[in-house]
Amino acid sequence: MSKLKQAVESGQFVVTGEIGPPKGVALDKCLHDAETLRDYVTAINVTDLQSAIMRIGSLAVSAKLVERGLEPIYQLTCRDRNRLALQSDLLSAWALGIENVLCLTGDHPALGDHTEAKPVYDLDSVQLLKAASTLNQGYDMADHELESVPDFLLGAVVTPGAEPLEPQIIKMKKKIEAGARFFQTQAIYEPEKFEHFMNQVQGFNIPVIAGIVILKSAGMAKFMNENVAGISVPEAIIQEMEETKKEDRRKKAVEISARTIRQVKPLCQGVHIMPLGWDELIPKVISEAELGREVRALSGEG
């Protein structure tokens, strides 16, 4: 059983991180980034052609993490594969020792660096969850019995800051019915909105891991406000970043991330820290957010 599965099933507060595979075949930096997280997170998301930009695949990088004794959360998107390939990749993942899967629809190719690429979208995220759950039960989507059976921990995503919120809640319920056993959220910068969301879904009784994107600059905040649905960075935080000297931005980024974690921690079952290249800040964020006890629990200490 994966450490993540043990944690979510036991009600332990979970800390997860994230790495992005490179655009090329050299994995040294990517794996170094993952090693930076070893003592601080339960599992590490490996993104799947994030933002529809061609990169080395999440399956290969996830397998490399397993080889190093790190626990990946294999992100799998519907954008590039039909149901044959999706099911095959899931079985391949299990054979390679990968036990956690985050099922996603995937950004449209029009948003990426190969805009002429044809999207597949044979399945959506709900259908992918159902397909993976069916594999766990020993059958493929055509109702053919498998010779041997995986036992994935399946996760999904939700956007607590979406407006209107109701469609997110409806789809979240569908994802749970399809087999999702935990949720990671889009980046949160407004704890009040997150609290409202959690109040709406508390009856679902499923672990929600709050997304924390380390904010690098006021420009990054403004870009997300304008281009990323469901993310709203308050003007007060943007002003904080604008008033921060360039050499102090990392310190301010840690401060904002840690403050947000402290605010949302009583509301959820974990945090998912997305450093976007500032991986070395994660230990500082965890320390300032007072997550030391959770990290010790991860390592089996006290």
Q: Is the pLDDT of residue 19 over 90?
A: yes
Q: How far is CA 251 from CA 160, 237, 240, 248, 278, in A?
A: 27, 14, 12, 5, 11
**Residue 16 structure tokens:** 């997860």
Q: State the amino acid at position 226 in one-letter form.
A: E
pLDDT tier, 279 (very low <50, low <70, confident <90, very high otherwise):
confident
Task: Tell me the fold of 3-299.
Answer: TIM Barrel (3.20.20)
Question: What contacts 147, CB < 8 A, 6 or more positions away?
Answer: none
The three-state secondary structure class of 72 is strand
What confidence score (pLDDT) does residue 300 get?
59
Q: How far is CA 25 from CA 31, 101, 150, in A?
A: 12, 23, 29
Q: Is the pLDDT of residue 299 over 70?
A: no
Q: pTM (2 decimals)?
A: 0.94
Phi, psi for residue 36 in degrees, rounded to 5: -60, -30
Q: Is the pLDDT of residue 131 over 70?
A: yes
What pLDDT digit, counting tens, does each position of 225-247 carry? Answer: 998 889 999 999 999 999 999 99
What pLDDT digit, counting tens, does each position of 168-204 carry? Answer: 999 999 999 999 999 999 999 999 999 999 999 999 9
Alpha helices in 110-248 (DSSP H): 125-136, 166-178, 191-201, 218-227, 235-242
Closest CA relative to residue 253, chosen from 285, 292, 226, 219: 285
What confidence score (pLDDT) does residue 295 get?
67
Q: Is the pLDDT of residue 302 over 60?
A: no
What confidence score (pLDDT) does residue 298 get?
64
Q: Residue 274, class by beta-carbon neighbours within 10 Å (0-12 exposed, 13-18 middle, 19+ buried)?
A: buried
User: Can you give the residue ranges of every domain in the chain?
Assistant: 3-299
* Cα 246 to the center of its chain, rounded Å: 29
Query: For 208-235, what is the mean pLDDT?
Result: 95
What confidence score (pLDDT) does residue 201 get?
97
Contact 183, 129 (CB under 8 A): no
Mean pLDDT of the chain, nearest integer = 95
Distance CA 292, CA 52 (A): 36
Q: Is the pLDDT of residue 296 over 70?
A: no
Closest CA relative to residue 16, chosen from 289, 193, 270, 275: 270
What pLDDT digit, counting tens, does each position of 96-123 carry? Answer: 999 999 999 999 999 999 999 999 999 9
Closest CA relative to residue 217, chosen from 245, 241, 250, 188: 241
Distance CA 15, CA 2 (A): 14
Give, for 71, the enclosing helix (H) or strand (E): none
pLDDT tier, 260 (very low <50, low <70, confident <90, very high otherwise):
very high
Give, for 30, the enclosing helix (H) or strand (E): helix 28-37
What pLDDT digit, counting tens, does each position of 148-170 carry? Answer: 999 999 999 999 999 999 999 99
* Cα 33 to the center of its chain, rounded Å: 16
User: Cα Rg for the chain, rounded, in angstroms?
Assistant: 19
